[in-house]
Structure 1
């Protein structure tokens, strides 16, 4: 079970940063755990996701982050094996070359992991490979600060967005959430997480008049020339998220010079901080 195909990690290591706050997840059963029984070989689950959530709850209790590491599929495309590891598994190379500015590396080759396989007899996912020992200290008191345990409920996200639109500073908005939760120990996300969410919402938010104006302008261009093409992508809340357009001259040029294309993403000039990326 060690020869799994490596896949992209869905959870990065949760560095301990900005430990002045934590995140409140309303009624989050993944974080509110009475007592998680220690994992054993042969323990079964209904699905890989259930196995991962249990491992994450175990990590929250014991004091280490977890990530999805690898999987292997059968010929028919269905999952056969999965591996979940401690978040400090593997080793990362520092991106900065200046030795005076290198950041601490949280990935230190920890081998703690669980390997699950599908039992075709009963359809359960069974733990067949298990390593519980870590090569680093664990800290249950700081578990909620790991990124894999930091999530923001829909209710809190909406509250943060409303406060931001009302002009309430993030420090005050976050403090009100902490007070409502009854203290930092009951809040499992950081102020940085809240700020990142608000910044993302602000970038996606377009006034109704702006979105309508863009659509009306593109319709006008399309009426004047059938060769004008545009596509508008909205998010789940109906807000403008992506826009693509191409005029007839550019489309004709692409037919002749399609093998030489420049994709430039250096433009970040509008008030919504949305990237403008022209194909040249």
Structure 2
């Protein structure tokens, strides 16, 4: 079996960079950017300007606005206002929010039998409860949520969206001068994306490309996006860009293999622009051995990330000789829940819909969510090695780490013979070393049924408690694949 090397080197152009620079001034003359909102009267100007002031008690209201934008009047939302479409409603509220100085998000939607929106709630982006978005107490991530109640409700009546409930009081200060930085107001247009793609392929640095856009637009304030948005787009584009001939060569290879053996399975997932997003393949041998040795599968994406940022994702099992066997492999553009759901569903289809009895992965949250969706009946185990590898990082700051804490933790994990014994040992560990406030240990205890050996004794694991089988399979691939291997070179 050939190992498909799906990595493409970008050709270096010998054309002088001066010939490749885009005339941004001409380009931006034709680009459309939102024009600054102009007030209709000096009195309205004063009212709008005062909105951004932080109220003494942290409460801000949005007074009535009547601002002209491209000849249209923007006024404060009122019950009974009607809009011809959901897009028109969204555009209106975003323009209103931008002038007032708050972000917008869709809180709730309800669709009818025809799958069109019948009811929608739009609200302030700072609505909702503040939640800790990371378990790392040493480096907490700030949150902007303040449980703000500002919102509008709209119901579709006779083909039009009518505002039914209005609440314009915010519990935080408003910032009209910072509105353009809010996520809902930042957008990289298709024309700008094309320019960024061309310059990236030509080797022009992002700071130079963005600087040209700024000059052409007449200043930062006239761009509806930030340099960060441009960098995020290019990072994503590189994930999907296989280079000239790469995707075609891959497809030709798959077709050739399927002609030789109808049992060869391959599926390519393309984005809306026809660029490769994800790919999965498995040869007939892998599909056949899964019928006999598919009880336990390990899945890992840490092995190799190529120059396009596409992690290599092999499915690995073990046969009756204790040897690692490859059960299919994929390349994915991102490690989110949606991508893993696609990959797992594709693999399950390839294997005739037979789900594994058990699956071992690392602690990736997106993987766990996808497994719940695709393999609800499979027993999920977290790699014990990956968990215990973090012990020094998470606990070495305690004075008692080397004097007994580490050994007590390992003894609790490995030597407990029953669930009751583990619970008793864990409580003793937490109490003895005063670890009640350790967020990492709290998260581990919550998921103890997925990684502590004593909770997993009732399931067959083929002698595996880690993703080491995937790691050993990675050593095999080292002889064929590296991060700069060219897909087209391999296929040819």
1:14-57 deviation line (CA, Å, top 9, x unaligned): xxxxxxxxxx9932569877252111111111122221221111
Q: Of 9, 27, 52, which residue of structure 1 is paired with 2:32? A: 27
Decide which structure has the larger Cα Rg and report it: 2
Runs of 5+ unmatched residues, structure 2: 1-27, 38-67, 317-492
Aligned mates of 1:209, 1:117 — CA distance in 2 = 50
1:25-104 alignment runs, 5 A limit? 26-28=31-33, 34=69, 36-74=74-112, 78-104=116-142
Residue 20 (structure 1) aligns with:
none
The more displaced of 53-62 and 210-219 is: 210-219
3-state SS of paired residue (1:103) = coil
1:149-176 deviation line (CA, Å, top 9, x unaligned): 1001111111111111111111111010
3-state SS of paired residue (1:277) = strand
The yes-or-no answer on 1:127 pairing with 2:135 is no
Residue 273 (structure 1) aligns with:
309
1:261 Cα deviation from its structure 2 partner: 4.1
The more displaced of 77-86 and 64-73 is: 77-86
Q: Of 191, 205, 210, which residue of structure 1 is paired with 2:227? A: 191
Residue 18 (structure 1) aligns with:
none
Residue 146 (structure 1) aligns with:
182
3-state SS of paired residue (2:212) = helix
Q: 1:30 to 1:56 in 2, by over 3 A?
A: farther
Aligned mates of 1:184, 1:73 — CA distance in 2 = 39
1:185-239 deviation line (CA, Å, top 9, x unaligned): 1012111100111111112111223223322322332232221011223334333
Q: 1:215 to 1:118 in 2, by over 3 A?
A: closer
3-state SS of paired residue (1:273) = coil
Residue 182 (structure 1) aligns with:
218
The more displaced of 224-233 and 251-260 is: 251-260
TM-score using structure 1 length: 0.82
Residue 17 (structure 1) aligns with:
none
Deviation above 6 Å: which 4+ runs of structure 1? 30-33
1:142 Cα deviation from its structure 2 partner: 0.7
**Aligned residue-pair number:** 255
TM-score using structure 2 length: 0.48
The yes-or-no answer on 1:112 pairing with 2:150 is yes
Native 8 Å contact 1:30 1:53 kept in 2: no
Aligned mates of 2:164, 2:199 — CA distance in 1 = 48
1:77 Cα deviation from its structure 2 partner: 5.1
Q: 1:68 to 1:256 in 2, by over 3 A?
A: farther
1:183-262 alignment runs, 5 A limit? 183-256=219-292, 260-262=296-298
The more displaced of 33-42 and 183-192 is: 33-42
Runs of 5+ unmatched residues, structure 1: 1-23
3-state SS of paired residue (1:51) = helix
Q: 1:101 to 1:48 in 2, by over 3 A?
A: same
Q: CA RMSD in A?
A: 2.4
Q: Of 192, 208, 212, which residue of structure 2 is paired with 1:156? A: 192
1:116 Cα deviation from its structure 2 partner: 0.7
Native 8 Å contact 1:89 1:110 kept in 2: yes
3-state SS of paired residue (2:79) = coil
Q: Tell me which of the two structures has the higher relative contact order, counting C-alpha pairs closer than 8 angstroms and 6 or more residues apart.
A: 1
Q: 1:30 to 1:266 in 2, by over 3 A?
A: farther
Native 8 Å contact 2:34 2:224 kept in 1: no
Native 8 Å contact 2:299 2:314 kept in 1: yes
